[in-house]
Amino acid sequence: MLAASLTSRPAVAGPAIPATADEHYERGAQERDAGRFAAAAAEFDIAYSEIPPSEEKRATVLLELVDARRRAFTAGGRVRGHEHPAAHLCAAVARLTEFIDAAEKRRAPKAKRSPDTRTAMELRTEVRDQLDEVRKTEGDLDCATVEYPQEDVPEPAPVPPVKVDAPEQPRKPIHKPFVIAGAATAGVGVIFVGLMVRGLVRGKRAEKDGEALVAMSPTLAEEDPLLQEIDRRGRGGNRLAIAGGVIGSAALGAGIALLVLGLRGGPSSRVALSPTFGRRDLGLLLRWQF
C-alpha cells in the first residue's frame, strides 16, 4: 500500500487509487532499495500519473519521485533518449511544476497554500539550483529539448545455464501466516517511515522560520513567545522523525524477515518465529524446541 501523506489530514472521500498505482509504487521502492534509482524514478512516475490529482497521497509519491531523480543524477544514471544525467533534474522540475500549478488552480482566492504545495515549491527551488550549477560547467543543457523517459528499466541479467543432470528439489509450500504477518509488519514500517519524513520536513521548516525571525529581529529574546512556539514545533518534528525512524526500521526489518521465511515455506518444525508488539516494544520472538 502507498505510504501516508506528507501531512496528516482527515480522510476525504474521492476517486479510488487504481491498484496498478500501488503495484508501480512497490516496484519503485524495490528498485530504489536495490540502488537502481533511474528505474525507481520511472516506476514512481507511473504511480504518480495514475493517482487522481485530488488524492493527498499523490504528494508522497511526488516526494519519492523527486528523490529518486536526484539520486539518479548524483549516481550518473543515463536517461533513455538523452545521455546527460542532468535530464533527471529536468524531469523532477517538470513534475514539481505540474503539481504546484494544479494545486494553485484548486486553491481558493486568498486561501493559504497547503503544506504539500509549500514543500513542493521549496524542492523545486533546490533542484533548479542544482541545474544552475550544472549549466555553469555545461552550458549546452536545455531542459526544453530533453526527451523525458516513459520507461527506464535495467537490462535483465543473463540467465545462468541449468544443469540437466541436477535433480530438482521439491519446493516447500508458501507459509501464508508468515507472509501475512510479514506484509502487515512491513506495512506498519512504511507508515512510520512516512511519519519520519513528515517530522524531518516539519523540523526543517521550523528551523528556517526561526532563522528568519532572528534575522528580522536580532535583539529578540529567547523567551519571546513566538520564538518559543517555533522551537516547540521544531522539537516536536524532531521527536516525530526519531520515533518514526526507529519504529519504522524495526518494523520493516521484522516484516522482511517474516516474508522471507513465509516465502521459503516457514521455519523448521523445531523453530518458531513470531512478531511481538507492545506499547513500548516491537520485535521478533524466537522459540527453539530441543
**What tens-digit pLDDT sequence spans the chain (290 residues)?**
444 333 334 444 456 788 898 899 999 999 999 999 999 999 999 999 888 877 778 888 999 999 999 998 888 755 444 456 778 888 889 989 989 998 888 888 888 988 998 999 999 999 989 888 888 887 666 777 765 444 444 444 454 555 555 555 666 677 677 678 778 887 877 887 787 788 788 778 877 877 776 777 777 677 777 767 877 887 887 887 788 778 878 877 777 877 676 677 666 555 555 555 555 555 555 554 54
- Considering the domain architecture, whether residues 235 and 192 belong to the same structural domain is answered as yes
For residue 154, being part of any structural domain is answered with: no
- Pairwise CA distance, residues 214 & 246, whole Å: 32
- Considering the domain architecture, whether residues 130 and 186 belong to the same structural domain is answered as no
pLDDT of residue 183: 80
CATH number at residue 131: 1.25.40.10
pLDDT of residue 165: 57
For residue 161, being part of any structural domain is answered with: no
For residue 81, being part of any structural domain is answered with: yes
For residue 5, being part of any structural domain is answered with: no
For residue 239, being part of any structural domain is answered with: yes
For residue 170, being part of any structural domain is answered with: no
pLDDT of residue 205: 83
For residue 221, being part of any structural domain is answered with: yes
- Pairwise CA distance, residues 47 & 49, whole Å: 6
- Considering the domain architecture, whether residues 30 and 129 belong to the same structural domain is answered as yes
Q: Domain range holding 60?
A: 19-145
pLDDT of residue 137: 80
- Considering the domain architecture, whether residues 31 and 119 belong to the same structural domain is answered as yes
Q: 65, 63, 77: which is closest to 35 by C-alpha? A: 77
- Partnered with residue 38 across adjacent β-strands are none
pLDDT of residue 215: 75
pLDDT of residue 110: 85
pLDDT of residue 155: 46
- Considering the domain architecture, whether residues 139 and 26 belong to the same structural domain is answered as yes
For residue 283, being part of any structural domain is answered with: yes
- Considering the domain architecture, whether residues 122 and 226 belong to the same structural domain is answered as no
Place of cell 523453530: 271
Reading the block at residue 187, the C-alpha cell is 506495512
- Considering the domain architecture, whether residues 29 and 94 belong to the same structural domain is answered as yes
- Considering the domain architecture, whether residues 209 and 254 belong to the same structural domain is answered as yes
Q: What is the dihedral of CA 87, 88, 92, 95, to 10 degrees?
A: 70
DSSP 162: P
- Considering the domain architecture, whether residues 24 and 134 belong to the same structural domain is answered as yes
User: What is the domain count for the chain?
Assistant: 2
pLDDT tens track for 18-50 = 889 889 999 999 999 999 999 999 999 999 988
- Considering the domain architecture, whether residues 133 and 29 belong to the same structural domain is answered as yes
- Considering the domain architecture, whether residues 83 and 182 belong to the same structural domain is answered as no
CA distances from 277 to 29, 186, 196, 281, 287 (A): 25, 13, 20, 6, 16
- Considering the domain architecture, whether residues 137 and 205 belong to the same structural domain is answered as no
Report the predicted TM-score, pTM, of the whole model to 2 decimal places.
Answer: 0.45
pLDDT of residue 157: 44
